[in-house]
Amino acid sequence: MITSGSRIHPKKALRIGLADEVVKPEFLMQAARSFAGKSRPGRKTSSRPWRKRILKVLEKTRYGRNLIFKKARKTVLENTRDHYPAPMAAIEAMEEGYAHGIEMGYEMEARLEGEMIVSDVCKNLIKVFHLREGFLHGDLSPAEDIKSVAVIGAGIMGGGIAALSAEKGFRVRLMDLSSDALGAALRFLHKDVGKKRKKGRITGVQAQWTLDRLATDNQLRGFGNSDLIIEAVAERMDVKRSVLSDVVAAVSRDAVIASNTSSLSIDGMAEGLTNPSRVAGLHFFNPVDRMPLVEVIHGEQTSGDTVEKLTAFARKLGKIPIVVKDRPGFLVNRLLLPYMNEGARLLEEGADVQQVDKVMLDFGMPMGVFILLDVVGLDIASHAGESLFEQFGERMRLSPVMSAMLEAERLGRKNGKGFYLYDSKGKRKPDRGLGKVLGSLVVDSDGLGDDDIVNRLILPMVNEASLCLDEGIVDTVQAVDAAMILGAGFPPFRGGLLRYADSEGVDRIVDILEELSSTVDERFVPSEPLKDMARAGKGFYS
């Protein structure tokens, strides 16, 4: 618990002896008075006394303690890759207390805590905490009249949105032409609710209420009473426009209409629709139940009232909304796709898949760039990349590696083969035959250094972020950092993409980009906003 900082649910806290009693809020004072009056409050006996005895034996012997601390260090390093020093310091303080007495442990804890507090990691994590809180909390009243939600499309995204909305108390109507898709969405909700009930996070009654709030249909029926309609069909403009046209005819004039698009124009979808001011984007990230970010996309005709309602609705779902302008790729994908494409470019120059991924894991990314491509799906990444190339030209041109992978029917984890190979359980392993797939696209090379790999992958995102700010895609640098941490997994201990840029120095970044543009390719040419900052001696936050 100390090294992970994880939250313990009341039912588990009671089971492990952390809590003496768990009661409903309305009975808290009565239970507290009763508890205070007991001379020797009893504790619940562990259901696994043998485990408790084994742990006690381990704790009381030097060999056992060494074993526990060794395992703890190994686990922490596996989870943090040594980017977060506090868990290791906590282990060190506890070990000192066991070895030389509790007072010595307290002294070491105080000294190490002082060192942690003034570290850059601590300062960055505090900034990220305030960053998250600033976007998470806000006025919920604009969404008060949203009681009923309709979701069109019962795929992974639509089903996830419907399930989450039902769990958060909204009446939900899920529509899809496929009965199989509707069945899969219902099974997902039942499984998720069952897990929460088993862990004691919800009661049986709450579980049933959640299930009762979700209705399914394979036709557009009963949508007239829906306050919010979320479209989550195939990522094709013709399909989405056809669906939205049918939706407008079936719902009230005041209903808010949102598209869960990841790249298509909201203005393009709203064209020709009645009252386009109520149409906006609501881009959830996959998996819906775990990813905290939602991009709220406002088109040219989207009203401020619509944006406020969707922002408040996202917060009611427990999500962190970032308002972005309707431009190709919006914010996260516009920054992330050049990162993924540059990974493919590195392969052209003879880089090794596993080396590149290890470098990015060591940098602090939650997964390597090629693992990410396999998870996203090479077909989806290529489709989104082509859209950005059409809008922004050469700097977004896709690597031929991507088309070669698609021609070889390598889509990623979804079909068991991408830059890695995957077994039936999704377990990943290196692919020694990848070189044959890429063939002449790859040139012989002495390889790239770790710093070169980081610069090639991270600095284009900094460059693109400066353009997004200049174009008003988002209003603040804080929005960029929040979106990249929460939507793309940029390492929190670095404070965010733009805080990292400031720590490296914008002038230094411009110098590196200029060198890369002259020695590698013109796609690295630094933007004018970035060069202006460097000339003025400023950073993104100054």
Helix or strand run (H / E) with residue 216: strand 214-217
Identify the DSSP state of 444: P
Q: By the 8 A CB rule, do 335 and 482 touch?
A: no
Angle at 178 between CA 175 and CA 179, to 5 degrees: 90
Alpha carbons 263 and 415: distance in angstroms, whole number: 23
Separation between Cα atoms, residue 489 and residue 67, nearest integer Å: 33
Distance separating alpha carbons of residues 416 and 424, to the nearest angstrom: 8
Angle between helices 477-488 and 497-504 (to 10 degrees): 120
Helices (DSSP H) in 168-262: which residue ranges?
Answer: 179-198, 204-212, 237-250
Report the alpha-carbon distance of residue 142 to residue 124 in Å, rounded.
Answer: 32
Q: What are phi and psi of 192, to 5 degrees?
A: -65, -45
Query: Which strands make up the sheet holding 171-175, listed edge to edge?
Result: 214-217, 171-175, 148-152, 228-231, 256-259, 279-284, 293-298, 320-325
User: Which residues touch 195 (CB under 8 Å, ≥6 apart)?
Assistant: none
- ∠ at Cα 474 (471, 478), nearest 5°? 125
Cβ(516)–Cβ(482) under 8 Å? no
Q: How many angstroms separate the CA atoms of 293 and 233, rounded?
A: 20
Please tell me the distance from the alpha carbon of residue 175 to that of residue 434, in angstroms, as a whole number: 41
Which residues are paired to 279 by β-bridges? 257
List Cα–Cα distances, 520 to 347, 348, 371, 456, 523, in angstroms.
14, 12, 25, 10, 9
For 223, list phi and psi in degrees, rounded to 5. -80, -10
How many CB atoms lie under 10 A from the CB of residue 92?
A: 16
Computed over its alpha carbons, how large is the radius of gyration of the chain?
A: 26
**DSSP 8-state secondary structure symbol assigned to residue 412:** B
Closest-CA residue to 115 (of 82, 73, 85): 85
CB neighbourhood size of 21 (10 A): 14
Choose the catalytic residue: 100, 130, 190, 283: 283
Token couple for 528:
């004018």
Single-letter code of the amino acid located at 285? F
Best CA proximity match to 523, nearest among 469, 472, 473, 457: 457
Half-sphere exposure for 515 (CA within 13 Å, toward CB): 10
**Is there a catalytic annotation at residue 283?**
yes
Catalytic residues: 283
